Structure 1
Amino acid sequence: MTVMTAVAEGREGDQALAAGIAEARLLGTDLVLVNLRLSALDHSGLPEDVTITLVERSGPGDRDPVDAVLDEIEARPGIDRLVIGIRRRSPVGKAFLGSVSQRLLLQSPVPVVAVKPPADRSP
Structure 2
Amino acid sequence: MSVAVAVTDSPEGRHALESAVAEAQNLGTGLLLINLTLHDFTEEDIPSGLEVTVINRSGRGDRDPVTAVIDEIRDHAEVDRLVLGVRARSRVGKVILGSVAQRLILRSPVPVLTVRRDATGR
Aligned to 1:16: 16
What percent of counterpart residues are identical? 50
Q: Report if the CA contact (8 A) 1:4-1:32 is conserved.
A: yes
TM value normalised by structure 2: 0.91
Equivalent in the alignment of 1:105: 105
- The 5 A counterparts of 1:23-42 are 23-42=23-42
- In the TM superposition, what whole-angstrom CA distance separates every residue of 1:44-101 from its partner, at most 9, and x where no partner exists? 1433211000000038715211111000011111110000111110111112221111
Structure 2 stretches lacking a partner, 5+ long: none
- Between the aligned partners of 1:71 and 1:34, the Cα distance in structure 2 is 11
How large is the RMSD of aligned CA atoms in angstroms?
1.7
Cα separation, 2, equivalents of 1:60 and 1:16: 25
> What is the Cα deviation at residue 118 of structure 1?
2.5
Counterpart of 1:53 in structure 2 is 53
SS at match of 2:54: strand
Q: Aligned residues, how many?
A: 121
- Which secondary structure does the structure 2 equivalent of 1:115 belong to? strand
Which aligned segments of 4 or more residues in structure 1 are displaced greater than 3 angstroms? none
One-letter identity of the residue aligned with 1:33: L
1:43 Cα shift? 2.9
| Structure 1: gaps spanning 5 or more residues | none
TM-score (norm 1): 0.90
Within a 5 Å distance, the mapping from 1:77-96 to structure 2 comes to: 77-96=77-96
Cα distance between partner residues in 2 of 1:40 and 1:77: 24
Secondary structure class of the residue paired with 1:38? coil
* 1:9–1:59 Cα change, 3 Å: farther
